[in-house]
Structure 1
């Protein structure tokens, strides 16, 4: 420690006279002289340059690369998702349908949004668009149905064979075997097929068969099938049998190709009593129906 103090005094020139005399006798004098000479050439570096550099950095405007912020990007994605949902929701509402299907062996009563009523016959199907109903009362029908329509805008029933337009009326539409039959019980009905139109008033019926229009008088106040009856007018045995199979869920098979010949049947059959209906057609067509199983019958000539 004493030697370090003496060296420090030597370097800064604060040695006393006595210490100088002793220093002259020091064997390491030459080495210390070199240290002093070199240290004198050294200087503490100035901080001015560094300060200027720091100030330049602090005062300079950083160059930034423009990037879309994650928040803005996510906001646009959210907007796009909302618009997509609105579009899909509107399309679904516009195109969605209410569909009604009557079971195979029972009629189905349906009330429409405007209070109009539809009675679907067994196995028949009807549908309408929910969203546009109040603007356009349009019902699509597959099968047979009786309509009691409330007054309002035009009421339209669309079938594959033709279109029926009404305004405040009661009527039924039957689509069987590729034919279209319309019976008007009250009010007026307009039937259109292709470019041809026909107007029916209460008590009139119309049958469209292979492009031929057949107008007739209507003697019933409501459809026979609504009262659990099948109504036939000049029907062949095959036509009667098909209706019975649909109504009673049974199967008829003829033992010969021409059992009933050209005979036709006009009348009513009960849909609540199979045996009674069979008894009626046996007399009408002079045939015999032999039961094979619970739901199978063979038709034979008498």
Structure 2
């Protein structure tokens, strides 16, 4: 213990008198001198520095922590997002349409979801909504088409010139040249244009032209154009030209001062032979149809 006490006093420099003389005689004095010298270079950490370091750490943790929204708020946001996606998907399905169009040189047969069929004439187009079909059989038609409708709920064909409603039948709808023509081959159809309506039974036809409703008879089992023919009844040259342009994708010009506008044509024109159809028109109207280019013609009086 005495030795330890002398070492402690040596290190802190408090040895004096006889104790100091005895210490100087120690064999390990040189070792103790080095210990004293090295221990003098050591210092305890400054507490104020520790305080600042601790505060900096606390501040950094405080800024890194973000306040999260309440659990209930996040849950309602997720529910709202899901509902929005469901509503948007339902609306897209409800409003989406299937659109089909025949080429200018061929007819197109279109099967409908209930087994009904539509045969589109050259260049004609039909559209319908597949998603709502089970509760509403409804098609939009541009051009001419033949319908074979399965029995069921009301089947409606809407055109720019009027609507045709049926339950189950075979009929065609023609909207060319600004006129609405309907031929009923089987069953019954109802034709409506604005507030006017007319019921047709099998074997009857109707032509609506500029407000005039003309009922007639049908002696055919199906439209002649289904077999590659165009059927005209009391058609003017302008009306025939319009059909030829649409069927053959050509342009036909006429000279108004030299071609009669009062003549009419009743008959058939082939849709598979352009030259033959033009020749028939030349004979029926006593005109000359001159070819200007591959798809351009000029009709003049003879």
Q: Same fold (TM over 0.5)?
A: yes
Deviations 1:228-281 (A, max 9, x none): 111111111111111111111122122443413411100000011111111111
Retained in 1: the 8 A contact 2:177–2:242?
no
What is the match of residue 164 of structure 2?
Answer: 164
Retained in 2: the 8 A contact 1:118–1:148?
yes
Structure 1 residue 176, shift from structure 2 partner: 1.8
Say whether residues 1:237 and 2:234 are aligned partners. Answer: no
Structure 2 counterpart SS, 1:134: coil
Structure 2 counterpart SS, 1:279: helix
Unaligned 5+ residue runs, structure 2?
A: 9-17, 19-66
Retained in 1: the 8 A contact 2:176–2:243?
no
Moved more, 249-258 or 91-100: 249-258
CA distance in 2 between counterparts of 1:197 and 1:283 reads 39
Structure 2 counterpart SS, 1:280: helix
Instruction: Call closer, same or farther: CA 1:86–1:230 in 2, change over 3 Å.
Output: same
Structure 1 residue 209, shift from structure 2 partner: 1.0
Structure whose CA Rg is larger: 1
Structure 1 residue 5, shift from structure 2 partner: 4.3
Structure 1 counterpart SS, 2:175: strand
Retained in 2: the 8 A contact 1:105–1:246?
no
Structure 2 counterpart SS, 1:177: helix
Retained in 2: the 8 A contact 1:101–1:108?
yes
Map 1:120-139 → 2, pairs under 5 A: 120-139=120-139
Aligned length: 248
CA distance in 1 between counterparts of 2:195 and 2:92 reads 32
Instruction: Call closer, same or farther: CA 1:283–1:67 in 2, change over 3 Å.
Output: closer
What is the match of residue 194 of structure 1?
Answer: 194
Structure 2 counterpart SS, 1:277: helix
CA distance in 2 between counterparts of 1:295 and 1:160 reads 29
Retained in 1: the 8 A contact 2:258–2:300?
no
Structure 1 residue 177, shift from structure 2 partner: 2.5
What is the match of residue 268 of structure 1?
Answer: 268
Moved more, 197-206 or 242-251: 242-251
- Alignment RMSD (CA, Å): 2.5
CA distance in 2 between counterparts of 1:257 and 1:121 reads 33
What is the match of residue 92 of structure 1?
Answer: 92
Retained in 2: the 8 A contact 1:148–1:171?
yes
Say whether residues 1:80 and 2:80 are aligned partners. Answer: yes
Deviations 1:34-90 (A, max 9, x none): xxxxxxxxxxxxxxxxxxxxxxxxxxxxxxxx9634x65543332222111110111
